[in-house]
Homo-oligomer: A and B are copies of this chain.
Amino acid sequence: MPIAAPSRLLLGSGPSPVPERVLAALAQPTVGHLDPWFGGLMEETAAALRRVMRTEHRATLPISGTGSAGMDAMVANLVDPGDRVVCGVHGLFGERMADALGRQGADVVRVEAEWGRAIPVERLIAAVDGSTSALFVVHGETSTGVCQPLDGLADACRAHDALLLIDCVTSLSGQRLELDAWGVDAAFSGTQKCLNAPPGLAPFTLGERAAERVLHRTTKNRSWYFDLSLVLAYWNAPEGAPRAYHHTAPINLIYALREALAIVEEEGLDARWARHARAHEALRSALAELGLERLAPDGEALYPLLAVRLPEDLADEAGIRRALLLDDGIEISGGLGPLAGRTWRIGVMGVGAEIAPQERLVRALAPRLGRDPEPAVDALRAGWAA
């Protein structure tokens, strides 16, 4: 019997809901990775990615792996053993990068903040010195729902010939992100958050200063699979030259990404960012009515991911999430690390950042918290009407 996946409303930390249009693109017939038609689709996809990432970097492409593959690719291509790398750590994904950098043999300088807060940029800037090879920060910290300001980081990096590297897995297309204007040298993202495509690709971009390091390194990249000097001969073949086979691209996932990017561009990035902000604030008001207060302080919120504190007296939060999933068909995520059992993480991503799915969540959640849903629904509607 063919598999039949259950219908879930995905309002957790990702994957986010994948629209029918994207699923239909995904299921288009597979073609060859060197097919000229597919080459055209690659060009379109890379061009759309550049627009959505607000960058003109030619080296912009989806890495053939999930968001975390983007992290591994960033480290393998841009960090050498012994490099001094300043790494912002204010949640799980910063911790993870610090781990990955350590595995690469980098001299990791951690600049930390409490989980649930942004890192003061002055502290990051102060840590960058003449011996620094790169500064890495997580723009959208999915473990805490915090958006890290990047003000001044690019200037500090340029002053010391260091690269500015970011993780924008959860922020891409859901919160203002201007890679070129903000001077970001390389960034990785994921497809299964605000882009509403299935998981499996890591949008990635490399500016000129970063590409210089990749293409002129004196040691071979430790990873064959993620070696961008090889991957780019396939993605960025010179005009008129054939694409050089590296690995077989995940064809159908690229169909889906292309369609998901088209949906983003039909809405427009500015409108999309504004909608995510509105959806975030509306849901925040509604959840506050249910006794769930946002973890991030004003000015530090990651709009696509609303992390809320649980009431101290809430018994069995995992049981509530499980019932919500299995009985109501709605997925939300629990906390991670020191926030496990103390927070929930609710996705506000793409088609999930709309009033209808949010109202469904609020109505399902309220009785499980022993609350009347109506004041929360009123707050939600007021937020959307604002």
Contacts and interface: CB of A to CB of B under 8 A. Distances in A.
A190 interface: yes
A239 interface: no
Contacts of A100: 224
A346 B66 CA distance: 31
A29 B5 contact: yes
Interface in A18-44: 18, 21, 23-33, 35-37, 41
A178 B30 CA distance: 29
Nearest to A23: B27
Interface stretch (A67-75, A83-91, A287-295, A368-376): A67-75
Contacts of A69: 64-65, 225, 247
A199 interface: yes
Nearest to A192: B248
A30 B10 contact: yes
Nearest to A318: B242
Interface stretch (A53-61, A114-122, A250-258, A272-280): A250-258
Given A15-B32, A35-B8, A248 B2 contact: no
A14 interface: yes
Contacts of A7: 29
Contacts of A37: 5-6
Contacts of A190: 248
A288 B223 CA distance: 41
Interface in A204-231: 220-226
A322 to B, nearest CB: 8
A71 B25 CA distance: 29
